[in-house]
Amino acid sequence: MRICCLLLLLPPLLAACGAKSEEKKMAAASPAPTIRTAQPRKAAQPPASPAAPATAEYHGSVTPHLMKFARISEEDLQRKIESGVVEPTLLLGRFLIGHDEEGRNSLLYYRSPTYSDGWLETHFEPVGEWLSSQNVTLDTVRLEPAGPPAVIVKFQSGTSLRHWSINSEGVNIIDASKEPVLVLTAGTSSHEYAYGGDDDDMDTTDAATTDNSSEDLLTQAITVHKQLIVVGPAEEDGNYLLAPAPPGTYRYRQGKMTKLRK
């Protein structure tokens, strides 16, 4: 009886073993499951700042800022006058003009209530490629009802090669009531002249008649009327040479500039 029972149970057991063997074969044939690991998150990057325009250095400004300056004692100033670095002539009753040690850039000297023992020395800040070596003239202009008038500085500079020349003009308006504040800087004129010809004896007058000569005149009018600064329009194509300020009508009060209209 027992043998008969075992015989009866043998086929199902064999079938079960065969099924398990088949499952093992299929598992071995199938690829191993991919184990995914958490990837570290990249730190969020701030958006890139827009690149500054290539001609930014050739633009004027109507944004007032404190200029770099130094305090000069009476003794130091006298030594500068004796060495010829500072002109001894007092301009407009308050200002002296000097030069840096290399003689390339002009400097402004003036008395200030913030430094009663001497003078303040500051560099002018003309804009434009051709105003590094300049002739300087000073005048006064009133921007506020009270207090001393501001100083308006005009620059003139010229350079030339054999068949090319350029003459440039620019302006600074400086609040010199205390420490120097640059109210406005701009180029006001650029006169470029190029002429052709290979003859060494050719002068400018003869060259003007040649076909390959060219002349470009760019200007921007800047005036002060009734304590308002009026900046005229300028040609956009001439920014490289002219370095204009943004056009508009502006009011300056206590270190701040307000644009009234275009």
The string of pLDDT tens digits covering residues 63-100 is 999 999 999 999 999 999 999 999 999 999 999 999 88
Within-domain flag for 113: yes
Within-domain flag for 30: no
Within-domain flag for 64: yes
pLDDT value of position 229: 97
> 226 is in which domain, residue-wise?
56-199+211-261
Structure tokens at 211: 């076909």
The whole-angstrom separation of Cα 243 and Cα 125 is 12
Within-domain flag for 257: yes
Within-domain flag for 90: yes
Within-domain flag for 33: no
Within-domain flag for 238: yes
The residue assigned the tokens 């398990």 is 20
Burial 231-257 (b: 16+ CB within 10 A, else e): beebeeebbebbbbbbbbebebeeeeb
Instruction: Give the total number of structural domains in the chain.
Output: 1
Within-domain flag for 50: no
Q: Could you say which residues of the chain have pLDDT below 70?
A: 1-57, 132-133, 197-211
The pTM of this model reads 0.73
The residue assigned the tokens 């073993």 is 17
